[in-house]
Amino acid sequence: MTQRNRVRELLLDLQDPRHVARFQQMCGVRGSFPRSLPGDQLERTHNNGSVSGGGEKTSPDDGGEGGTQTAQTRQRTYASTTTTTTTTTTTTTKGDSPSANGTVLANAGVDSVSVPGVENGLSLAGDQGSGTVKPLRKNSLTGDAGHEFLVENRFLYYLFTLGTELGNELFYITFFPFLMWNVDAFVGRRLVMVWVWVMYLGQCTKDVVGWSRPASPPVVKVEMFYNSEYSMPSTHAMSGTAIPFSLLFMTYGRWEYPFPLGLAVALVWSVLVCLSRIYMGMHSILDVVVGFLYSALILLVFLPALDSVDGFVRTCHYAPLLIVTVHLGLGLLSFTLDTWSTSRGDTAQILGTGAGMALASHVNHRLGLLPDTAADRLPLAVGPPAGVLPLGLALTRLVLGVAVLMATRTLMKAAAVPVACRLLGLPPGDVREARRHMGVELPYRYTVYGAVGFNVLFLVPLIFSHTRLS
């Protein structure tokens, strides 16, 4: 066997969903899958690694509007050269599905699925006990809630749930503002620059490679939210690598703490996020490994140039024009890589946030707001005397600031979609259908989250200064 063939076999083996199923089994996750109806009533559909019906499904968007999901959404089949799993499921509509709410009913029955190399990984619905739980959140594209599964190790379930949340929107919308408002705005704005580039390259690479999620069965879908997106590389792994190691790079020498402690925190953070994606059944081992290495490569290239990029954004007279055009152009490019999907909107959202914060950094520098810590005050000691606010004041700032951001998001969202629909001559009644058009989705995400990002670094600190909370 040649070296190329050995490498190919290794990569195929790391992509094998059976390894994901074994890891889940080791961690105490047992799945159950519904029994199919016989005869010509059966139709095999495969929605990016998950077993799902081919009929219409209600698909709420991030604002709560309902919609109809048709067969036009991306339907991808998983093909592995190392294992073949055949599963059938009934094509149903929302009204007649025996498990419309994602719960496997005991009287619906199941077929035991035998997967080579995975022992006792799948359980009957009748065996479910008090440890059964539903997948975390419905599929963001199809509304599919998935099936209940058995959790035998609650500690690992909550630990890996925490790990996967370190790469979700709720974490970003609280962590980045808290860092900027209460700890170090200099580090915060630079960290967002790194995060934007890492996430943008990761999301675009997903759409170019086009690999599906691990097949279910044998994999148990502990999480369903991102199940309709592509899989390679894991952007959770990329973010979970970029954020902690960038923090280590930016803060060591600026803040006083032992390097081994900072390195240990970064490693634990990264490993937890990476393993959580395998535990959730969202990624193969190969997806996670490539995500980690890809993120490390981006950091090696981007971090040495960070001083120059940050200086240009803040001081160059033409920076605002370039910030808007570059981020918007990157968004247009990403929208041409694939058909409509939730990942496409996420990419525009990330770019809008980055553009808004970069513009705010420029405006702050021009107006003399949020000045950087003087060099003669560095390094900063870790503790309240160095400027880290007392907990009560920090939480007050966080609550007030997030409330301003939520109000900004709500107001901008209420205006952006109708305006875009009128400009394109589209009916504004069906928000989800309208947002399938690039001319609606891109400006919607870009303007809404651009305003949110701008207010993180400009409006909210300005409010703090006028309310004596600065």
Cβ neighbours of 236 (radius 10 Å): 26
Q: Which of 4, 14, 13 minimizes the C-alpha distance to 287? A: 14
With beta carbons less than 8 A apart as the criterion, state whether 282 and 227 touch: yes
Peptide bond into 443 cis (omega under 30): no
Task: Exactly one of 236, 317, 362, 466 is catalytic; name it.
Answer: 236
d(CA 143, CA 94) in angstroms, rounded, equals 10
Active site residue 46: no
Residue 113: φ, ψ to 5°: -100, 120
Q: Which of 46, 283, 327, 362 is catalytic?
A: 283
365 is catalytic: no
The residue to which tokens 């006083």 are assigned? 256
Of 415, 357, 386, 435, nearest to 177 by C-alpha is: 357
CA pair distance 418, 355, nearest whole angstrom = 23
HSE toward the beta carbon, residue 267, CA cutoff 13 A: 6
List C-alpha distances in Å: 409 to 62, 193, 214, 338, 456.
Answer: 12, 21, 34, 26, 12
Look-up of token digits 């928000």? 431
What are φ and ψ of residue 387, in 5° steps? 115, -5
- Residues belonging to the active site: 236, 283
